[in-house]
Amino acid sequence: MITAAAIQFTIKPGNVDANLAHARDALGRASDRGAQLVVLPEMWSCGFCGKSLAGLAMHTAAIAEELQDLSRRLGLVVVGSMPEPNGDRVFNTIHLIDNGRLAGIYRKVHLFSLLGEDRVFAAGDGCLLADTSIGKIGVIICYDLRFPELSRRLALEGAQILCIPAQWPKPRNEQWRTLLQARAIENQFFVVASNTCGMVGKLDFFGMSMIIGPRGDVLAEAGDRETEIVAGLDMRDMAEWRAQIPCFKDRRPELY
């Protein structure tokens, strides 16, 4: 059994110190509750801060180092995205940290053009499936959830847990829930998704961070306030379920 947590909080735009202080405390609380895997929201260190983003991205290397230190001391796998400098643009980047080790980097592939992300960010051009101390972890970021091919590729390569940092605003609550459950059901893996909550800049976020099992069963769900949700991921049960309904074996990839 793996214990997973999602940290949900109201990101303070541009206020790296306040966001980092919150994350530090929340990681400690999640660890006290037995968490081995912790997911933070998308762009948790500073939010989407428009023009100042390139400057804020300069803090990311130092924050990632502190996360590595925290992860080592608390014995955690940590996932969450931050801005990464890239010339006059930035990447929206996950540093996947496993007990102090940087296990991989993922840069958001699908930029959310509705909110102009494609004007500020550079898009990533790869996937990340990391072999960690607690199993094979795939990662995607927020809008990537609408593109099932990406999660499917990670599942076919062996992902057991899909981690999703997000800033997914109102009023698309039910789309968020449905898509998270769909990814879990069709890929028969666990989904650990962290969303922000409250007002962040001009956008209103509903929270609803979720931990979902391979049958689509909701193992833990947050409301619309700051919190940490925690749930056990039973890997043996996942293997039994996969044997009972062998979707991977029954695929007909020659037809699609």
Ligand X SMILES: O=C(O)CCC(=O)C(=O)O
Please count the other Cβ atoms lying within 10 Å of the Cβ belonging to residue 10. 19
CB nearer to ligand X: give 9 or 143. 143
Minimum CB–partner distance for residue 169 and ligand X (Å): 6
CB nearer to ligand X: give 117 or 237. 117
Q: Does 140 bind ligand X (CB under 6 A)?
A: no
The answer to whether 125 and 111 are in contact (CB under 8 A) is: no
Q: Contacts with ligand X in 91-130 (CB under 6 A)?
A: 112
142, 184, 185, 212: which one binds ligand X (CB under 6 A): 142
Q: Contacts with ligand X in 159-188 (CB under 6 A)?
A: 167-169, 172
SS3 (DSSP) at 20: helix
CB nearer to ligand X: give 104 or 169. 169
Per the annotation, the verdict on 197 as an active-site residue is no
173-177 own/partner pairs: CB under 8 Å, 24+ apart: 173/206, 173/208, 176/145, 176/206, 176/208, 177/208, 177/210
By beta-carbon distance, which residue lies closest to ligand X?
A: 143
- The CA R_g of the chain, rounded to the nearest whole Å, is 17
State the catalytic residue, choosing from 108, 163, 197, 228: 108
Question: Which string of DSSP letters, residue by residue, matches 163-220?
Answer: EEEE--BTT-HHHHHHHHHHHHHHHTSEEEEEE-EEEETTEEEE---EEE-TTS-EEE
State the catalytic residue, choosing from 127, 142, 163, 197: 142
Per the annotation, the verdict on 65 as an active-site residue is no
Minimum CB–partner distance for residue 140 and ligand X (Å): 10
Minimum CB–partner distance for residue 10 and ligand X (Å): 15
Q: How far apart are CA 14 and CA 167, in angstroms?
A: 15
CB nearer to ligand X: give 40 or 134. 40
Per the annotation, the verdict on 136 as an active-site residue is no
The number of residues that bind ligand X (CB under 6 A) is 8
Minimum CB–partner distance for residue 225 and ligand X (Å): 20
CB nearer to ligand X: give 36 or 92. 92
SS (H, E, C) 114-148: HHCHHHHECCCCCCCEEEECCEEEEECCHHHHHCH
The answer to whether 148 and 141 are in contact (CB under 8 A) is: no
9, 91, 106, 143: which one binds ligand X (CB under 6 A): 143
Q: Which residues are catalytic?
A: 42, 108, 142
Binding positions for ligand X, rule: CB under 6 A: 112, 142-143, 146, 167-169, 172
